[in-house]
């Protein structure tokens, strides 16, 4: 005897998640007429900055995300085109150039329910659409993924993040039909029994794919040309210009204009080398946060960016640092001693964080928080 029975069609269902999804998305009685429209819950009481939509989430707008006017105009055009039919948009660029952040900000601007599918967690081409569950009573059953829920939600923004990190090439194939402007549905064998129809992309859905391109990305797979060709809208991203980076660093970490200039200058020097070293915004922001905790610029950059570079790049980075030290810092860094002691004996206190710094952290919270009603994919 099944644990639950669908009130609409009488189907017997093994467990609650299956029942919930079945009724919401897949019950033939409910879906025969029209796809389930998204309902925004209005119980947003302030502690929860996102609006929950089933288990999809509208990301919060990041007041400190900067975008160029050319890119903003292109995004407006893509969103306008998306009113007529689902669209695919590629955000391609070096690590930490703001691809994932921009994808989330597009969803926030559009106030759209959003789901981020991380390409590297998929183990097979079928897994995009669901995973097997096992219960003692009912044996093996198939739980549709949030990716399916998102694709079938009208007006959703579905982010396929880090596409070049897929574990192998065959995993790409699961996406071909969904991404194809002329098809936009996929027959998924394992779902056929519950669904009785293919997975369909709902009207006004925007699918955003992000990936890194280039020889530097060892470990990435080459995306097949027919997959990338399914993204006729493409934005190639680069690091924001120095002035903008300074503003971002000041706004996101609360450091002074001078310190922000020096961090941004460090990034520019390394990126401008003949054999460029990519310095991600992520690393610079983290270094800024440590400077706000009184780290000198050497330690702030060493423990976030420099120590992770290959040896020859480390040398270049240390040389770049020489150029941006204040006299005081240069002296401090070169003359300080580094002593080892049993840690428990040390009288060292934890760094005190001032209320002012804490307040700026509040402000700097990323434009994204995970859904509170987390559900596994
Ligand atoms: N234009 C920008 N304005 C404000 N913040 C930015 C901007 N670009 C990047 N950032 C910040 O830099 C950090 C890294 O950005 P993000 O994670 O989006 O990079 P990414 O391109 O997706 O990197 P990866 O390729 O490693 O996934 C984030 O904290 C993001 O908010
Ligand atoms: Mg990313």
The string of pLDDT tens digits covering residues 302-314 is: 999 999 999 999 9
Q: Are 288 and 300 in contact (CB under 8 A)?
A: yes
Q: Residue 375 pLDDT > 90, yes or no?
A: no
pLDDT value of position 123: 87
Question: With a 6 A CB cut-off, is 248 part of the ligand 1 pocket?
Answer: yes
Cβ of 367 less than 6 Å from ligand 1 = no
pLDDT in tens, 89-124: 999 999 999 999 999 999 999 999 999 999 888 888
**Does ligand 1 lie within 6 Å of residue 95's CB atom?**
yes
Does residue 69 carry a pLDDT above 90? yes
Is 99's C-beta closer than 6 angstroms to any atom of ligand 1? yes
More confident call, 25 vs 208: 208
94 three-state secondary structure: coil
pLDDT at 154 over 90: yes
Pocket test for ligand 1, best of 281, 284, 285, 364 (most atoms within 8 A of CB): 281
pLDDT tops 70 at residue 215: no
Query: In terms of DSSP bridges, do strands 4-5 and 12-13 run parallel, antiparallel, or are they unpaired?
Result: antiparallel
Average pLDDT over residues 1-25: 53
Spatial contact of 67 and 103, defined as CB atoms under 8 Å apart: no
% of the chain exceeding 90 in pLDDT = 55
CATH 3.40.50.300 in the chain, residues?
35-236
- Residue 355's pLDDT is what? 86
Angle at CA 319, nearest 5°, toward 316 and 322? Answer: 155
CB of 240 sitting under 6 A from ligand 1: yes
Domain 35-236: CATH class, spelled out = alpha beta
Greater confidence (374 vs 125) lies with 125
**What would the mean pLDDT of 139-161 be, rounded to a whole number?**
92
Q: What is the pLDDT of residue 9?
A: 64
Report DSSP state, residue 219.
T
Is any atom of ligand 1 closer than 6 Å to the C-beta of 296? no
Collapse the DSSP code of 56 into the 3-class scheme (helix H, G, I; strand E, B; otherwise coil) and give the result: strand
Look-up of token digits 């120095």: 242
More confident position, 3 or 108? 108
Asked if residue 122 has its Cβ within 6 Å of ligand 1, the reply is no
Query: 58: burial class by Cβ within 10 Å (0-12, 13-18, 19+)?
Result: buried
Counting from 1 in the atom list of ligand 1, the atom nearest the Cα of 210 is 22
How far is residue 346's CA from residue 307's CA, in Å, rounded to a whole number? 26
Q: What is the Å distance from ligand 1's center to 95 Cα? A: 8
User: Would you say the CB of residue 281 lies under 6 angstroms from ligand 1?
Assistant: yes
What is the pLDDT at residue 31? 42
Whose atoms come closest to the Cα of 287: which ligand? 1
Ligand 1, atom 29, lies closest to the CA of 282
Using an 8 Å Cβ cutoff, are 214 and 27 in contact? no
- Work out the mean pLDDT of the chain and round it to a whole number: 82
Non-local (6+) Cβ contacts of 347 within 8 A are none
Q: Is 96 in the pocket of ligand 1 (CB under 6 A)?
A: yes
Atom of ligand 1 nearest to the CA of 101: 18
pLDDT, residue 5, reads 63
Test site for ligand 1: of 69, 239, 243, 282, most ligand atoms within 8 A of the Cβ: 282
Of 97, 120, 213, the residue with max ligand 1 atoms within 8 A of its CB, to mutate for a pocket test, comes to 97
Closest ligand to residue 104's CA = 1
The finding on whether 265 has its CB within 6 A of some atom of ligand 1 is no
């Amino acid at each position: 005897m099944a644990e639950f029975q669908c009130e609409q069609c009488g189907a017997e269902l093994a467990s609650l998640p299956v029942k919930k999804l079945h009724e919401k998305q897949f019950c033939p009685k409910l879906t025969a007429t029209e796809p389930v429209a998204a309902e925004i819950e209005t119980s947003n009481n302030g502690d929860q900055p996102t609006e929950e939509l089933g288990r999809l989430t509208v990301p919060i707008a990041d007041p400190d995300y900067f975008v160029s006017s050319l890119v903003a105009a292109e995004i407006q055009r893509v969103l306008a085109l998306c009113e007529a039919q689902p669209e695919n948009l590629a955000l391609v660029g070096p690590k930490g150039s703001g691809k994932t952040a921009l994808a989330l900000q597009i969803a926030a601007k559009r106030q759209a329910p959003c789901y981020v599918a991380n390409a590297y967690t998929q183990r097979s081409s079928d897994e995009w659409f669901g995973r097997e569950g096992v219960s003692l009573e009912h044996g093996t059953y198939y739980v549709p993924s949030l990716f399916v829920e998102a694709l079938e939600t009208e007006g959703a923004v579905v982010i396929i993040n880090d596409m070049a990190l897929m574990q192998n090439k065959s995993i790409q194939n699961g996406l071909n039909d969904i991404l194809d402007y002329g098809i936009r549905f996929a027959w998924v064998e394992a779902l056929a029994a519950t669904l009785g129809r293919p997975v369909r992309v709902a009207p006004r859905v925007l699918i955003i794919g992000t990936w890194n391109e280039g020889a530097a990305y060892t470990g990435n797979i080459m995306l097949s040309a027919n997959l990338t060709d399914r993204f006729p809208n493409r934005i190639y991203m680069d690091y924001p210009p120095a002035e903008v980076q300074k503003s971002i660093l000041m706004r996101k970490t609360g450091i002074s204009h001078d310190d922000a200039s020096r961090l941004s200058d460090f990034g520019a020097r390394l990126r401008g080398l003949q054999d460029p070293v990519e310095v991600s915004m992520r690393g610079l922001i983290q270094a800024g946060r440590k400077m706000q905790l009184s780290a000198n610029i050497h330690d702030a950059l060493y423990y976030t960016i420099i120590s992770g570079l290959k040896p020859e790049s480390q040398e270049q980075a240390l040389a770049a640092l020489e150029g941006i030290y204040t006299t005081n810092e240069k002296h401090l860094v070169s003359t300080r001693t580094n002593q080892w002691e049993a840690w428990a004996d040390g009288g060292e206190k934890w760094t005190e964080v001032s209320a002012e710094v804490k307040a700026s952290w509040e402000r700097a919270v990323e434009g994204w928080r995970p859904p509170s009603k987390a559900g596994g994919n």
